[in-house]
Amino acid sequence: MKLYIAEKPCVAKAIASIIGVSKYDDGFTLCKDGSIVTWCYGHLLEQATPEAYLPEEGKKFWREEDLPIIPNKWILNTKSDCKKQFNVIGKLLKKCTTVVNCGDIDREGQLLVDEVLEQHKNTKKVLRYWSSANDDASVKEALSNLKPNENFKGMKEAALARSHADWLIGMNATRAFTLAARKNIKVGKGPLLSVGRVQTPTLNLVASRDLAIKNFKSIPFYCFDAKFKANNVEFVAHYKFHENQKGLDSEGRLVDATEAKSLFNQLKTLKTATVTKFETKEKKIAQPKGYSLADLQNEANAKFGYSAQKTLDICQALYETYKLTSYPRSDCQYLPESQHHEAKEIISILNNNLANISKLGLSVLLDNTTPSIKSQTFDDSKVTAHHAIIPTRQKGDITKLSSEELNVYILIVKRYISQFYPECRVSATTIELESNTHKFVASGSIILDAGFKVVTGKDSADKDSDSQTLPKLAKGQAVDVLNIAGVTKKTTPPSAYTEGSLIKAMENIASVVDDPKYKMALKTAKGIGTSATRAAIIAELKRKNYIEVKKNKVHVTELGFSLLNALPELVKNPVLTAMFESMLEKIESGNASLKEFEAKQIQFVKELINKANSMTIKINHAQKR
């Protein structure tokens, strides 16, 4: 008898549905072919706390002499709310002949089922189910291609290595630097200085942005716009500086006021210009890719001011409580091609679900979809452990949603149905002109077919594009110069992070790393943290008073700055994660061992503790941003 162990109930339901359900029972499903499908709730097990490895006195008080805490044998405990299901799986393991690991197709998915099997001391044959989606076609394909679980040992060990290293660094460094800070405290325990491989670089991201804003010095720079007239049409073109123009800064801006005045006096004398280039091209703008959790958190924050955790909570409710949307903790923007045939049914269900909310105007948008259109979002080669967040085939009463849940649901619905509208077609025109060696460039565009933008409306890219209508001109044609305007602008500081943009910054943190090797490692890892943990990390930084949110902007507190000032650079730098990822890749591929990796982490932890022990950290509550 086969026992299928899924990572979560929805995967178990999809598998049982394809095999054929005979009976639903408490914690498992009996199938018509005699097999049984059961499930986890993510990780059923968790690492023991440091107290499990310490002598009695060390359990009561944090002491320097107990550091570093290095487990000889790692202890896993069953989570308090998962004990019943853990025991159900244990009983089923005794009855089966073959086990099928149905964890998600990533390292954590491999580990969370394998660790349950190891905790139950399973000796039965284990196979591996491998699917990133729960649609019928994907599940059937995976069930017909089960692989030996042993083939994925490297993935399990890589996940285990990350888990052990995060524990070693987090637990030891937090105690070491907290104790160093308490040396200076005469009354009370003093603050907890929490250190983490992802948490601390995230805090440092915000601090760096705060300091960049604080230290920013705005400088004026000068631009020139010319108004031209040709074929009875007036249009505006921007002045293009020569490469040898004096007074330009490193970014090509004219910052010398004297040069600007001299140039303006020259430009004012121009009466006519000659067209040196006239080019009109039709451009196609592809449909937006599906929502990953980070994208959705960013948009919900920008449009509604929702925190990253709030958006995740809403998505979790839409998924678990209402079953209206797919699994939310996804870092993927793509969909399996096998799901394309479900579009017609999903759109029909959406029409039914949203029929009573006419004020949203979605009925017309749904009626005008073309389910046969296959956008770039449907791409098997780019689907990871979970596909993009989309509406499901669940019929439901949308009036039961809160206004906040409805807002997020509509975002997901609109992004999905935009896949079944044509690409947006735009006629883009560029005109280059020259007068007495001075050059100008004009650009404009006309939407020929709005396509999917009927659903999504204008996006941020549209705000920056020229929307003026340009005349049809010919190369060599003379045009009149009506006037020249000088415009003084000022450089602006970078924007403070919102929770939404901070989530995206964590995902794209490779952009702040210079070393090509580590930059690539961070790109491969999709940044620091995961789609499932980033919101919780931000929430934890807020809870510990390391960051605060004011008017939707995230800033580091005095306590947060004090912590960062005390820590060595490597702990604050995402390069640590990049180094981790490079080593984890080697473990996964079999080119390095878990034991070697842990030995390096232990050595690193000892160095951190030595540094902390040699310090007396002063928490400066007067420090300002």
Q: Are residues 278 and 185 in the same domain?
A: no
pLDDT in tens, 549-567: 999 999 999 999 999 998 9
Stretch 435-439: mean pLDDT: 96
- pLDDT of the residue at 203: 97
Tokens of 556: 């580091």
53 occurs within a structural domain: no
55 occurs within a structural domain: no
Picking from 429, 521, 422, the residue whose alpha carbon sits closest to that of residue 230 is 429
Q: Are residues 297 and 281 in the same domain?
A: no
Check 291, 327, 416, 518 and give the catalytic one.
Answer: 327
474 occurs within a structural domain: yes
- pLDDT of the residue at 182: 85
- pLDDT of the residue at 188: 60
**Alpha helices, DSSP H, located in 144-256:** 153-182, 199-214
Q: Are residues 348 and 448 in the same domain?
A: no
Beta strands in 53-152 (DSSP E): 76-78, 98-102, 125-128, 147-148
The total of structural domains in the chain comes to 4
Strand pairing report for 478-490 and 2-6: unpaired
Q: Which residue has the higher pLDDT, 248 or 624?
A: 248
pLDDT at position 622 over 50: no
What's 355's domain CATH number?
A: 1.10.290.10
Q: Of 471, 490, 509, which closes a domain?
A: 490
What's 486's domain CATH number?
A: 2.70.20.10
Q: Are residues 312 and 444 in the same domain?
A: no
Q: Are residues 302 and 360 in the same domain?
A: yes
- Give the model's confidence band at 466: pLDDT under 50 very low, under 70 low, under 90 confident, else very high: low
Stretch 592-599: mean pLDDT: 95
pLDDT at position 197 over 90: yes
Strand pairing report for 36-39 and 2-6: parallel
Tokens of 186: 């005469």
Q: Are residues 427 and 281 in the same domain?
A: yes
Stretch 65-77: mean pLDDT: 96
pLDDT at position 404 over 80: yes
HSE, side-chain direction, 13 A CA sphere, residue 293: 30
Q: Are residues 183 and 241 in the same domain?
A: no
Q: Is 41 a catalytic residue?
A: no
pLDDT in tens, 104-141: 999 999 999 999 999 999 999 999 999 988 888 889 99
Q: Give the max Cα distance, the chain.
A: 93
pLDDT at position 54 over 90: yes
User: Of the ranges 90-94, 373-377, 607-611, which one carries the lowest mean pLDDT score?
Assistant: 607-611
Name residue 6's amino acid. A
- pLDDT of the residue at 461: 42
Q: Of 490, 519, 536, which closes a domain?
A: 490
Tokens of 614: 């040699």
564 occurs within a structural domain: yes
Q: Are residues 316 and 364 in the same domain?
A: yes
Q: How many Å from the N-terminal Cα to the C-terminal Cα in the chain?
A: 63
62 occurs within a structural domain: no
Long-range contacts for 537-541 (Cβ within 8 Å, ≥24 apart)? 537/196, 537/198, 537/199, 537/202, 537/506, 538/202, 538/307, 538/308, 538/309, 538/499, 538/502, 538/503, 539/307, 539/308, 539/309, 540/194, 540/199, 541/199, 541/202, 541/203
What's 141's domain CATH number?
A: 3.40.50.140
118 occurs within a structural domain: yes
CA 510-515-521 angle, to 5 degrees, is: 50
Stretch 346-366: mean pLDDT: 86
Q: Are residues 428 and 406 in the same domain?
A: no
Domain carrying residue 592:
159-214+498-613
Q: Of 468, 490, 512, which closes a domain?
A: 490
**CA 596 to CA 198: how far, in whole Å?**
22
Tokens of 134: 């729960």
- pLDDT of the residue at 279: 96
467 occurs within a structural domain: yes
52 occurs within a structural domain: no
Q: Are residues 282 and 427 in the same domain?
A: yes
Q: Are residues 519 and 588 in the same domain?
A: yes
Q: Are residues 83 and 110 in the same domain?
A: yes
Task: Say what the alpha-carbon torsion angle 485, 488, 491, 492 is, to the nearest 10 degrees.
Answer: -90
Stretch 302-323: mean pLDDT: 95
Do the beta carbons of residue 256 and residue 246 sit within 8 Å?
Answer: yes
Picking from 225, 231, 285, 276, the residue whose alpha carbon sits closest to that of residue 469 is 231
What's 180's domain CATH number?
A: 1.10.460.10
CB atoms within 10 A of CB 172: 25
